[in-house]
Structure 1
Amino acid sequence: MNLLIDIGNSNLRWTRHGDGCTWDLSVARHSGGIPLDLLAQWERLEPPERLIVSNVGGQDVAAALTRVARALWGRSPDFLHTQAAFGGVRIAYEEPRRFGVDRWLGLIAAHAHTEQACLVVDVGTAATFDLLLADGQHLGGLILPGVEMMRKSLLMGTRIPRIEADPAADPWATDTGPAVAAGSIHALAALATRLFDRLAVEAGRQPSLILTGGDAERIRPALDQPSELVPDLVLQGMRRVVEEAD
């Protein structure tokens, strides 16, 4: 049994992988460390053969995970790094290590999942948009602040009071709180639409749109195109890497 662990900027997702293991996605807020409730869950597990890790959450949480893994199981985690070409996917970046390992794994999973060009949108603390052709060539991507970061940056830089509100279904709002809430949702959805249309021209046919990340469901209703929600996309990519390496 292996543990597959996806450490994002805010959340840690994990599952067990191996013969006889059920693929169950678990999510915990990490806050730069390993939460006590997660530690309690891991203490009840049989010792894993390997811990395979995707980490964009920083060195503090990586160090905390390493300490926990050594204490519980006498093992050190294997941290994955982006490769220029793997699983049929070829990264557009000249320096692959500068391309987030979570984005790389998401593309590997998306390419295995669909035989057509696809736009992969990961909406978390940051929102990333990556364009992939059917042959596995990555065209590049864009990054924006995520929903909450976009709202916080606006509120911190203005005198607009913090008003909790659900985003409006319409592309405009009639009060300040809903305007801020809806603006963050529709900004991300509008960029997804623009990139989707450009990818359709580049690919010569309609691409697919894959959503992942903690806030993916928040932007989904605002999208103009049909989309597929894959909450464990990064972990699916990790599974591909592990199985191909074996």
Structure 2
Amino acid sequence: MLLLDIGNTNLRWTTQAAGRLGEVRILRHGGGMTLDLLAAWEALGAPSRILVSNVGGAAVAESLRRVTRAYWGLDPEFVSTRADFGGVRIAYAEPARFGVDRWLTLIAAHAPALDDAGTAPRQPTLILDAGTAATFDLLLADGRHLGGLILPGIEMMRNSLLAGTQIPRIESEPVGDPWAQDTGTAVAAGSVQAIAALARRLLDRLTEQAGATPRLLLTGGDAQRLRSALDRPFQEIPDLVLRGLLQVAERIPLSG
């Protein structure tokens, strides 16, 4: 199978065989299929199935559909959020309003296969997906989704402030103390620390709600920029959405 995670900015893709994911490739999609992606797929054998998580919009979806039909005569299957699936029950009353990428991270987090042995007891979990937006979702050990929060991502947070001020842009990332000694770096540090501080607060509230210590799963394109700011143990899983897609593929047979 060919599995794709199309975000607002980046596209991640991999192949699956014998229940395992292959190497994950990442690129910026720009609303369409890039030349680098097309070149890589020219050398790819025809997949039996193409599953897609898409929050990147209709244009990139249509571009993907044209390419897969031309290359392999296959239509991609665009996964959509379900209220109750794989033991996960989402909090939203209208499942269509809950992003499919967020849903797939919940499915992956609740799957026993996330653990090395596949047998560890499930835990309450906070998922932090740091991308164009930073999303937080809280999941109890029994699969009940409590809900979540959404913030602007690191770059969006910085850009929104810089656009309305005369503060100069600082491209380097903050290091060391969580505070800064000049204004530009203070903006850079503030965007990181705001997300990390919210993660800490939500972990504390989830501990109270669940009566157990939750784990923190970190994913998304900006995950590495948050590592030093997080002061709680965390597990970084870059391909969490793709793992969720694999779980969906194993539970939903090929249509037709």
Helix, strand or coil at the partner of 2:82: coil
Q: What is the one-letter code of the residue matched to 1:158? A: T
Residue in 2 aligned with 1:78? Answer: 77
Displacement of 1:49: 1.4
Displacement of 1:21: 7.0
Q: Deviations over 1:139-168 (max 9, x none)?
A: 000000101111001000112122323213
Residue in 1 aligned with 2:153? Answer: 146
CA 1:134/1:178 → structure 2, altered by over 3 Å: closer, same or farther? Answer: same
Residue in 1 aligned with 2:189? Answer: 182
Displacement of 1:172: 1.1
Displacement of 1:20: 8.7
Residue in 2 aligned with 1:159? Answer: 166
Q: What is the one-letter code of the residue matched to 2:104? A: L
Residue in 1 aligned with 2:65? Answer: 66
Paired-residue identity, %: 64
Q: What is the one-letter code of the residue matched to 1:138? A: H
Distance 1:214 1:27 in 2: 9
CA 1:233/1:62 → structure 2, altered by over 3 Å: closer, same or farther? Answer: same
Distance 2:175 2:19 in 1: 45
Distance 1:203 1:20 in 2: 32
Displacement of 1:224: 1.6
Displacement of 1:211: 0.3
Q: Deviations over 1:21-40 (max 9, x none)?
A: 76211111101111101100
Tell me if 1:53 matches 2:60: no
Helix, strand or coil at the partner of 2:12: strand
Tell me if 1:27 matches 2:34: no
Report if the CA contact (8 A) 1:33-1:65 is conserved: yes
Helix, strand or coil at the partner of 1:171: coil
Distance 2:29 2:49 in 1: 21
Stretch deviating more after TM superposition (201-210 or 105-114): 105-114
Helix, strand or coil at the partner of 2:51: strand
Distance 1:70 1:226 in 2: 44
Q: What is the one-letter code of the residue matched to 1:23? A: G
TM-score by length of 1: 0.97
Report if the CA contact (8 A) 1:168-1:178 is conserved: no
Report if the CA contact (8 A) 1:123-1:215 is conserved: yes
Displacement of 1:57: 0.5
Tell me if 1:88 matches 2:84: no
What is the aligned length? 245
Residue in 2 aligned with 1:196? Answer: 203
Helix, strand or coil at the partner of 2:129: strand
Query: In angstroms, what is the RMSD of aligned CA positions?
Result: 1.2
Distance 1:53 1:209 in 2: 25
Distance 1:90 1:67 in 2: 34
Displacement of 1:129: 0.2
TM-score by length of 2: 0.93
* Structure 2: gaps of 5 or more residues: 116-121
Report if the CA contact (8 A) 1:165-1:177 is conserved: no
Distance 1:110 1:169 in 2: 31
> Would you identify which runs of 4 or more consecutive aligned residues in structure 1 move more than 3 Å?
19-22
Helix, strand or coil at the partner of 2:238: coil
Helix, strand or coil at the partner of 1:240: helix
Residue in 1 aligned with 2:235? Answer: 228
